[in-house]
Structure 1
C-alpha cells in the first residue's frame, strides 16, 4: 500500500545509518503481511459491513487507546461502553481529541497517526479544534466500498491472518470466508483452550462437560484428553497451524495417570486447592505439548499477564478493557519437564513470548539457542513499541541470532492497526540491522536478506506456514 506517512519515521538520526536503514526498509515496506497471531473476529470479514463511525474504526476495539483515557479520568460511559447509556460516537471522538496530548510518545499514538495519514490522508494534529472536521472527513468515506473490511484486508496486503478461537467454535465463519473466496489472503483459526484447561477458570466444569458432550467422550481423564485431541483435529482440518496458551505462568508437570485422574475428578467438582489447580494446569500444558508432537500444531505460550486486574471494571464491562497487568515470568525451570520430554522431538515447535523483558536474554534466547523446538516470540503487548523492539533485538540477537525468532505478531483486535504495527516492526528491524552494518558486524548484503526473511521466511518457518 502507498505510504503517506513519513518514510524516515522511526529510523536512526545519524545520517549515514539512516540511509542504510531506509534502504533496508524499502526492501520490505510493501511486502505482504503475515499475521500468525491476532484477535480480529472472522465475522468482521464475513459480514463485510461498513464501519459505522471513526470510533468503531479506531477506538472501540483497541484497549491500548481506551486504557490511557481511563487513566486520565475518562469514564467507560464517556467512551460508549455503558449499555444503558446512548452511544455518542462524536462525543467519544471529541474526548479522544481532548486528551490527544496524553498519547505523545506512546506506540498507540504513533499507530493512530500512521492510520490517519495512510488510510485517509489526514496529517492534521488531532485536537479540540480539529476533532469534528477529522471525524466528518473519515465518516464521509466509510460508506465507500474501499473502506469495508474485505477491501481493507486486501489493500493491506495481508497474506495470512490467524484468528483466536474457542475449541468448541464450529468455525463456520472460516468455512464461509474460504468458500466465498472473500479475500485474497488466508484467514485461519487458532486453537485457544485456556478456559478448558484451568480449573480456576469460571465455568470450567460446564465447559468440560460441553467438550465431552460435543465429542461423545467418556467423563474420565482419558476421555477428556481424547475430546481435546478431537477438537484439535477439527481445527487442523480447518487450516489451523497453532495453539495459543495465555497462561499466568508457563509451569509444566508430568503426572502419573492416577494422579492426573484424581486431579481431573476434583477439578470437575471444584474440590481442588490452589496448589492442586496449579499442578493440573501444569500437567495440561505438558499434555498440550504432547498433542503438538502428534498433530504438528505449533504451540505458542503467552504468559505473564494478570488478567482483569480491576474486578469492578471486569464485573461491569467484561474482559479486554485495558486492565491486564504484567507480572514476572520464569521459563527455565517451569518448562524443564516439557523440554526434557519433547524439546528435541522431531516436528515439535513452541514459541515463547514474554512481557517481562528480563527473561529475553536470561532465559528465552539461551533456550532457543539450544532446543530446536524453541522459538523466540516477538515483542508482544506492552512491548510491541519502537524502543522496546530495539531492546528486544539487543537482548536476544547476540545469543540466538535472527533465525530463532517468530517474526512479528500484531496481537490486535483492531483491523486497521495491523499495517501500522507491522510497519513499525519493519522500521525498527531495519534500524537495528543498519547499526550492525555500520559497526561492520553484518554486511549490507546479509542485512538485506535478513530484513526480507524477518517478514517472510522466518514467520513461515516458526508457524509452519
Structure 2
C-alpha cells in the first residue's frame, strides 16, 4: 500500500468515460467560485479576535462530533479524547497523546465523508502528502502545530484563502453578539453574519428554559410574564440580530416539524402553563409548534428566512449526555412527518411570497413522498440540501435524484456546509460541486438537459441559489 495521500482530480465524478468528461468540463467552471456559507456553527470570535488556532487536537478532534462518534463506536472513551466533562472530572489533557489515538484509528474513517474532508484539509490546507498513521502521527502533529503559528493560518487569512464570500454563524437570542460588533468595527472586509437560533427561549424542554425567559426579559426590557410581552421581546432580538450582526435567517432545531395555529387566547393560556412549569411533553410540543407559526408571522414582517431542522433524536445516549452534555455525537435520525405537521403554518402563510421557509430532513424517505411535492407547490417553501448524516457523496446524489423530478432545481437552495469544523468548509463545498456536476453531466449524457443549461445550473447550485435564498 502506498504511503502517499493523493486526492485524485476525478474523484467523485461518474465512472462512465463520456459522462465523466462532461462532469469535468462543468466542474472547471465552478470549482473556483466563491463560497457562500449561509448556515454553520463556526465561532465568530475566531474572526473577531483573529488569534492562532491552539493545536492539532483542539482543531480537528475535540470539537468535531463526527470524529467523536466514530471513535466512540469502536470503544474509545471520550475522556481519552480530551472531551470536557460537565462536572469537571479529569480527562486527557496531553494533546499529542490525543492526536496519537486519532492517528492510530484513522483507518476507521475509510469510505466516510470525514475521510474526504480530513484528507482535503491535510493535503490542500497543510500540504501534507503522507498518510496519517500511528507511525506518522508525531510528524503530522509537529507539521500542523508549526503551521498554525504562521500568519497565513490565522482565521481571517484562511477565510480569504478559502475564497469565502460570506459565512453565517449561529447564536442564541441571549447572545450579546459582542464578537459580531467587534468585527463590524475592525475594518476587515470579510463578511460574517449571524443566524437567529431561538431554541433556548421557545422550547420549554430546553435546559434552564425559565431562567432563559427571565434573561430575555432583562435584556429587552419587555414584560415576558405575558404572551404579548414575550413575543415583543423576540421581535426585539430579531431586530437586534439584523442590525448588529447582519442576520438574514432564523434557525429552528425542533425534534419534529409540528406547527400549530392557535387562537391568541389559547396561545396565551398555553404560554402561562409553560411559564409556570413543570410542563408536560404534550404541552411542550404544542408550544414549540405554535412558536414556529409565530416565527413565520414575524418573518413575513421582517424578512428573515426561516430554516427548520427537524428529525433528530438529540443526545440519544443518556450516559454520554449526563457526563459530557449536548452535541457529543449521539444524535440519531428518526422518521419525520411534514405534510400533516406543517399544514397549520402553511394554511396561514404558505401562499405568502414574502415568506421563505427552508426545510431540512434527516429522513430521506420523505424527499420524494413529502418534501419535494410540498416545495414544488407552496411559494413559501424551499428545500435545504442533504444535511448532517446525508452530507456525503451518496447522500447528495440521492437527494438530487429524489427531489429534482418534482421540485426542480430552483426550489432548492444550493449547499450548506453546516459545520463547526472550519477547515472542512472548502472540502465540503468541493464535494457538493463535484457531485452536482456529475448529476448534471448524466442529464446531459442522457439528452435530458442541454450543455448550456447545465453550465448555468452548475453555477446556480454552487453559488447563486444559496446567495439568493438567504438574501445574502
Place the TM-score, normalised by the shorter chain, in its bin.
over 0.9
The range that moved more, 312-321 or 423-432, is 312-321
Residues 1:28 and 2:33 are matched in the alignment: no
> Is 1:281 the counterpart of 2:288 in the alignment?
yes
Residue 310 (structure 1) aligns with: 317
1:34-433 matches, within 5 Å, as 34-82=36-84, 83=88, 84-182=90-188, 184-218=189-223, 219-238=225-244, 239-433=246-440
Deviation of residue 197 (structure 1)?
0.7
TM superposition score normalised by structure 1: 0.97
* Structure 2 CA distance for aligned equivalents of residues 389 and 420 of structure 1: 14
Distance in 2 (CA, whole Å) between partners of 1:123 and 1:103 is: 18
Partners of 1:42 and 1:173 within 8 A in 2: yes
1:270: Cα distance to partner? 0.9
Does residue 13 (structure 1) correspond to residue 19 (structure 2)? The answer is: no
* SS of residue paired to 2:81: coil
In the alignment, the residues of structure 2 paired with residue 155 and residue 205 of structure 1 have an alpha-carbon distance, to the nearest angstrom, of: 43
**CA distance in structure 1 between the partners assigned to 2:77 and 2:118 by the alignment:** 21
Q: Distance in 2 between matches of 1:378 and 1:140?
A: 36
CA contact (8 A) 1:34 1:456 kept: yes
Contact 2:299 2:305 in 1 (8 A): yes
Cα shift at 1:139 = 1.8
Local SS of the residue matching 1:396? helix
Distance 1:187 1:150 in 2: 11
Contact in 2 for aligned 1:142/1:148 (Cα 8 Å): yes
1:297-326 deviation line (CA, Å, top 9, x unaligned): 000000001111112211221211111111
CA contact (8 A) 2:79 2:92 kept: no
Unaligned runs of 5+ in 2: 1-5
How far off its partner does 1:346 sit? 2.9
> 2: distance between equivalents of 1:433 and 1:104?
27
Task: Decide which moves more: 208-217 or 372-381.
Answer: 208-217
Q: Please tell me whether the aligned partners of residues 113 and 123 of structure 1 are also in contact (alpha carbons under 8 angstroms).
A: no
Task: Tell me the alpha carbon deviations over residues 130-177 of structure 1, each in whole angstroms, 9 at most, x when there is no partner.
Answer: 111222222222111001111111110111100000102121211111
Find the aligned partners of 2:266 and 2:340 in 1 and give their Cα distance: 21
Alpha-carbon distance in structure 1 between the residues aligned to 2:190 and 2:429: 16
CA distance in 2, matches of 1:61, 1:8: 31
Structure 2: how far apart are the matches of 1:315 and 1:44? 29
Q: Cα deviations across residues 347-386 of structure 1 (Å, max 9, x unaligned)?
A: 1100000010011111111111111110011011000000
Distance between the aligned counterparts of 2:464 and 2:140, measured in 1?
39
* CA–CA distance in structure 2, aligned partners of residues 11 and 61 of structure 1: 31
Q: Distance in 2 between matches of 1:60 and 1:273?
A: 35
Q: Is the 8 A contact 1:436 1:442 kept in 2?
A: yes
> TM-score normalised to the size of structure 2?
0.96
In structure 2, C-alpha distance between the alignment counterparts of 1:341 and 1:351, rounded to whole Å = 17
Q: Secondary structure at the match of 1:160?
A: strand
Deviations 1:170-197, CA, capped at 9 Å, x for gaps: 2121111121133x33100110001211
How far apart, CA to CA, are the structure 2 residues paired with 1:37 and 1:52? 24
* 8 Å contact kept, 2:156–2:190: no
Q: Could you give the per-residue CA deviations for residues 276-309 of structure 1, whole angstroms, max 9, x where no partner exists? A: 2211111111101111001100000000011111
In the TM superposition, residue 451 of structure 1 has moved relative to its aligned partner by: 0.4
- State the superposition RMSD in angstroms: 1.4
CA contact (8 A) 2:92 2:98 kept: no
Q: 261-270 or 86-95, which moves further after superposition?
A: 86-95
